[in-house]
Amino acid sequence: MRKRRLLTPGPTMLPDAAFRAMGTPFPHHRTEEFRSAMREVLGLLKEFHQTSWPIVPLTASGSGGLETAVINLLSPGEKAVAVRGGKFGERWGEICDAWGIECTPVDVEWGQSVDPAAVEKALGETPGAKVLFVTHSETSTGALHDVEALSRIAQKHGVLFVVDAITSILIHDLPVESWKVDVVVTGSQKAFMVPPGMAFLSVSPRALEAARRSKSPRYYFNLPLAVDALAKDDTPWTTAISLVLALRESLGVIRDGGGVAGSIRRHARAAAAVRGAMQAMGLRLLPERPSNALTACYAPSGIDTGVLVKRLDSDFGVRFAGGQGSLKGKIFRFGHMGYFDDLDLIGAVHALERTLEALGHKGTRGAGLRAIQDALWEGGER
């Protein structure tokens, strides 16, 4: 008998209250009962995004949120600049290509954080650019980009600034309004602790104005239509009712746990403890400036991380993620976001040490386990 521990960079495990909410009869979405739940959810989302601007809920994955941002802010033939430093950073350019938008990439070695000077240079060399896109926490590599610095550069060049914060919201500080981030895209299945299926976009007045001007064809992913519906506590289309009810419970857990500041502290403490454990085991971290959402590590020589991830799952019920793209088979990704506790982290490190030893790694038995226990103990209450 094993408890399954989902410690991937998303989806994450869910609080019991969220499970219960999805298992109860739900109201019709055009009723005051449901509108009340949606108002509560959107109010908490504004609080956690640190903004008074509208938050648009979409029944879609995070990628649907990214595409919504692209097609609402730009018209075919217009120009944008995107930071491309991993699988998800590349997605901005791929979406632009699909919609006939000219996107200049700022290429970053996987695992590195973008140099703001490189972004400023790209904007200077792309006359007429309308939007700067960046992924705050690059989940494929575990690297974190300096959104505050990039926001200042976007303002200097007069372009809209759009951030994929799907694995950074509530994990790293992102005061949307004070940093003047025009659109922030988030997803339900990360720090918000509900299943995949919803994306959320915070929308600045400048972004909404641009969306009303956009000539891109839109029907479902129409930001002005969605913002207008919010004025009546409504959505243009049928929304994911059960996910909204689950989200109300999960957001309540976050609020009761100290809100934005409490969530950031909890993730920082976990990330520091896990990184310390990996280094105590002799493993090399990939990112130069790591995100607190996950820890990305190279496997010891001779061990394929695809095999490692499968063995962890089959032998211990612990699920990590492997590498993507050029890092496939080379790294594993240990997620520590959303609904986890100290025992989940300790158990996962124990399972990792045992699995690496079974696969032939000659480390110091128990070094990682001792390191994470000490770090969590010294790190105080979660």
The residue among 236, 240, 252 whose CA lies nearest residue 34 is 240
The count of other CB atoms within 10 Å of the CB of residue 300 is 17
- How do residues 182-239 score in pLDDT, each as one tens digit? 999 999 999 999 999 999 999 999 999 999 999 999 999 999 999 999 988 899 999 9
pLDDT band (50, 70, 90) for residue 129: very high
- For residue 91, the model assigns a pLDDT of 97
For residues 359 and 378, is the Cβ–Cβ distance under 8 A?
Answer: no
Spatial distance between the Cα atoms of 93 and 14, rounded to a whole number of angstroms = 32
pLDDT of residue 112 exceeding 60, the answer is: yes
Architecture of domain 17-256: 3-Layer(aba) Sandwich (3.40)
For residues 306 and 328, is the Cβ–Cβ distance under 8 A?
Answer: yes
Mean pLDDT (the chain) is 96
3-state secondary structure of 200: strand
Look up the pTM and report it.
0.96
pLDDT band (50, 70, 90) for residue 382: low
Tokens of 352: 């990792």
Spatial distance between the Cα atoms of 68 and 168, rounded to a whole number of angstroms = 19
For residues 293 and 170, is the Cβ–Cβ distance under 8 A?
Answer: no
The count of other CB atoms within 10 Å of the CB of residue 213 is 12
- For residue 289, the model assigns a pLDDT of 97
For residues 203 and 160, is the Cβ–Cβ distance under 8 A?
Answer: no
Q: Which residues of 113-134 are buried (b: 16+ CB within 10 A; e: fewer)?
A: bbebeebbebbeebeebbbbbb
For residues 296 and 275, is the Cβ–Cβ distance under 8 A?
Answer: no
The count of other CB atoms within 10 Å of the CB of residue 163 is 29
The residue among 246, 360, 311, 182 whose CA lies nearest residue 17 is 246
- For residue 381, the model assigns a pLDDT of 58
The domains of the chain are located at 5-10+258-378, 17-256
* Apex 167 CA angle, 353 and 141, nearest 5: 55
For residues 159 and 166, is the Cβ–Cβ distance under 8 A?
Answer: no
Q: Specify the CATH superfamily of domain 5-10+258-378.
A: Aspartate Aminotransferase, domain 1 (3.90.1150.10)
- How do residues 130-174 score in pLDDT, each as one tens digit? 999 999 999 999 999 999 999 999 999 999 999 999 999 999 999
Spatial distance between the Cα atoms of 198 and 34, rounded to a whole number of angstroms = 16
Please state the φ and ψ torsions of residue 225, each to the nearest 5 degrees: -60, -40
